[in-house]
Amino acid sequence: MTGNPNDTFTRDEAVEFIMNQYGESLKRTIYTYVKNYHTTDDIFQNVLIQIYRKWDQFNGQSHIKTWSVRIAINQCKDYLRSPLHRIKLVRNKWLDQKDPHQIEHTVMQKEQWNEIANAILQLPIKYREVMILTFQQDMTQKEIAEVTNTNVSTVKTRMQRARQLVKEQVDEGVLDPWIINE
């Protein structure tokens, strides 16, 4: 949706539309950053609040999905920089060392994930985000450049490097050629 959406939707309608049309997609994007379901839900709520608050500032120059994804990514980056996140990381590491059931659960969970998804999630954030936005969000390189505030050439380079890193981490017999080839 482009044009001025403020003529079409009220704030409440905009939040409901985004939640219904892009909610699951936004949650998947958030999860790739924070890797925790509870934190994903919290950040998703913050994204919806931001959309509600900033609706009057959305002028329709970009697609509503792109704008929503940008808000979600910014919320994730804010969270990852926050002291709260760092405290949770230390606390969880300490709990993992103290609770053998947690370690067992983590090992079982890793066995359930396929190798490619795991390799993508291990990528540095700048590479992971281009992979996720391309394959989960079906965004073009131009849309990704807009969302990440980078040049299209930077997006291309990051995608190329991300594919190479995934290829290095995963057994070649498991790789999907579509993901690793240009």
pLDDT in tens, 115-157: 777 778 888 889 988 888 887 777 889 989 988 889 999 999 9
CATH of domain 1-81: 1.10.1740.10
Confidence bin at 3 (pLDDT 50/70/90):
very low
Confidence bin at 98 (pLDDT 50/70/90):
low
pTM over 0.75: no
Q: Which CATH class is domain 114-182?
A: mainly alpha
Residue pair 140/148 in contact (Cβ under 8 Å)? The answer is: no
Residue 95 has pLDDT above 60, yes or no: no
Residue pair 89/53 in contact (Cβ under 8 Å)? The answer is: no
Domain borders along the chain are: 1-81, 114-182
